[in-house]
């Protein structure tokens, strides 16, 4: 007959009342401290960090593609990965331009008339040495970086339209789908010599979504531009106020 032995083992760290009395009398060694695991310290290795929305936001498009198999068991994170990847692809598709492209007369048809139907083209007619042209160009350069989905080009006026009078400069033409949608002759449309990028943006967007950043979020171009003007105006007032306080304190 097999000999079975049963050994009772209490919870680790537990002690009987008798043992406690014997320890007080010095007959037993001190009670050992209960085991306590070390505190969790996040790893510095990015591959070992917990998978979260924030973690996914830091991934590149190639890394998001590679995560497809890893996130199959987590439907929420996998859906978020797909949404994030779609947003990144849309941003890369929209951000086509970002600067004022100089063109010649021979480039006009290719760069302007034959531009894709979903692209708005702002054509700046100018001549060097005309102060108003320089003022407007600075505004257009800032708008080009702010709204990279809109194509901005500049061309010497007489290269575009032979014998075009200098008194009409600067001139802005707006094209979409091979057609002229608007034209602005002279700087007065944008506030004359006091024109700002915001004033130019508002003029361009009065009737059409020329500056179309934000359309994918469902915002109208005009509303987005107006909100940008409001925000920048507030920032300008705050900065002027802070500069005034610094000047006063230095006195």
Mean pLDDT of the chain: 78
How is domain 100-231 classified at the architecture level of CATH? 3-Layer(aba) Sandwich (3.40)
Burial of 197 (0-12, 13-18, 19+ CB in 10 A): buried
pLDDT value of position 221: 63
Nearest to 213 by CA among 57, 123, 93, 103: 93
Distance CA 212, CA 40 (A): 48
CB 57 within 8 A of CB 84: yes
Write the pLDDT tens digit of every residue in 163-189. Answer: 999 999 999 999 999 999 999 999 999
Spatial CA neighbour of 81 closest among 66, 91, 93, 95: 66
> How sure is the predictor about 245, in pLDDT bands with cuts at 50, 70 and 90?
low
Structure tokens at 103: 């063109």
Give the pLDDT confidence score for residue 69 in this predicted structure.
58
Report pLDDT for 215. Answer: 45
| Residues of each domain in the chain carrying CATH 3.40.30.10 | 100-231
More confident residue, 166 or 21: 166
- The pLDDT tens digits of the residues spanning 37-77 come to 776 665 555 555 556 666 666 677 667 666 665 555 566 56
- The per-residue pLDDT for 32 is 73
The predicted pLDDT at position 124 comes to 98
The larger pLDDT score, comparing residue 23 to residue 125, is at 125
pLDDT score of 152: 96
Average pLDDT over residues 229-235: 74
Does pLDDT of 120 surpass 90? yes
Residue 125: partners with Cβ closer than 8 Å, 6 or more residues away: 154, 155, 156, 157, 160, 161, 164, 168, 169, 170, 171, 172, 173
Weakest-pLDDT range from 15-19, 109-113, 137-141, 190-194? 15-19
Higher pLDDT, 93 or 178: 178
Q: Give the model's pLDDT for residue 20.
A: 75
pLDDT in the model for residue 35 = 67
C-alpha to C-alpha distance for 24 and 17, rounded to whole angstroms: 11
């Amino acid at each position: 007959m097999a000999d079975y032995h049963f050994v009772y083992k209490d919870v680790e760290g537990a002690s009987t009342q008798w043992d406690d009395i014997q320890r007080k009398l010095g007959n037993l060694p001190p009670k050992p401290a209960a085991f306590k695991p070390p505190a969790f310290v996040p790893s510095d290795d990015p591959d070992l960090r917990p998978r979260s929305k924030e973690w996914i936001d830091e991934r590149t498009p190639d890394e998001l593609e590679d995560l497809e198999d890893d996130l199959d068991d987590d439907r929420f994170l996998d859906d978020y990965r797909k949404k994030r990847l779609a947003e990144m692809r849309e941003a890369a598709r929209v951000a086509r331009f970002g600067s004022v492209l100089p063109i010649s007369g021979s480039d006009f048809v290719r760069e302007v008339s034959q531009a894709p139907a979903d692209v708005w083209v702002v054509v700046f007619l100018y001549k060097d040495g005309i102060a108003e042209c320089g003022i407007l160009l600075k505004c257009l350069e800032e708008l080009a970086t702010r709204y990279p989905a809109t194509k901005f080009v500049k061309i010497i006026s007489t290269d575009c339209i032979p014998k075009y009078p200098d008194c009409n400069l600067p001139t802005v033409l707006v094209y979409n789908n091979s057609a002229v949608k608007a034209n602005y002759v002279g700087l007065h449309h944008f506030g004359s010599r006091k024109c700002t990028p915001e004033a130019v943006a508002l003029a361009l967007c009065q009737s059409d979504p020329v500056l179309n950043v934000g359309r994918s979020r469902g915002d109208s171009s005009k509303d987005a531009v107006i909100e940008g003007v409001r925000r920048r105006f507030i920032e300008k007032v705050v900065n002027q106020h802070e500069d005034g306080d610094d000047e006063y304190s230095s006195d």
